Amino acid sequence: MAAQLLVALLALSSLVAAADPSDPDCKALVKPLVLDSHSPIYGKWVLAVGMWDEPGLKSDLVTVNTSWVELSASSDSGVLAVYWADRLTDGRCIQGGTNATITGMTSHITFTINGHTSYHDGKYYATCPDCLLSEDTTLLPDGKNKGRYMFLFTRSGTLEASELETFKKQAECLNFIPEYFHGGTDLCADSRETAKAAENTENGETTEAAGN
């Protein structure tokens, strides 16, 4: 997902030797999901942990404390609707929606946040039950690769210790730096729900006034 979709920092300072993705253990751990039957990734997900593969990418993440994303079907079978919300370290919430186009096993997403546009190619992998594992490649406007993030979302935002260890092994197979963020559960409220509640209240008051 987007670079802004991240969380409170827990840094590990050392590097490890890159794993061989062709290793049988890695093949078992890193199995891409086919997105033309992508209903298992639908719903609301809370970011639990994330990693990156370029040291410079970390600076894009430190202003965010918690994050959630909602993925849903659209009227176009080749398009995934994406809604996201981030709580920043200063307490502010930013959120918005966009669409992701699906090509084979890859999603293509453009985010525009505070006037800044970023481009992302995403892949999803098989992982623990009620979890969503994605690899996000961030692209520069000229199409060059800026680097990759690896995000593990869960329905609740929490992880079992064994699930975290599996995530670390998957990240090693995909050659990520062993530094990571842990997310929290102090999430932004969904502004769509707030707006709908206000609209219902206004409509109710209008109906009552008309009845009088």
Q: Which domains can be identified in the chain, with CATH numbers?
A: 8-211 (2.40.128.20)
Helix (H) or strand (E) holding 193: helix 191-211
**Partners of residue 70 on adjacent β-strands:** 44, 83
pLDDT confidence of residue 152: 95
The predicted-structure confidence for 162-174, as pLDDT tens digits, reads as follows 999 999 999 999 9
pLDDT at residue 70 greater than cutoff 90 = yes
Say which amino acid occupies 60.
D
pTM reported for the whole predicted model:
0.77
pLDDT confidence of residue 75: 83
Q: Are 13 and 55 in contact (CB under 8 A)?
A: no
The encoded tokens of residue 136 equal: 């996000």
Task: Report, as an integer, the average pLDDT of 192-212.
Answer: 64
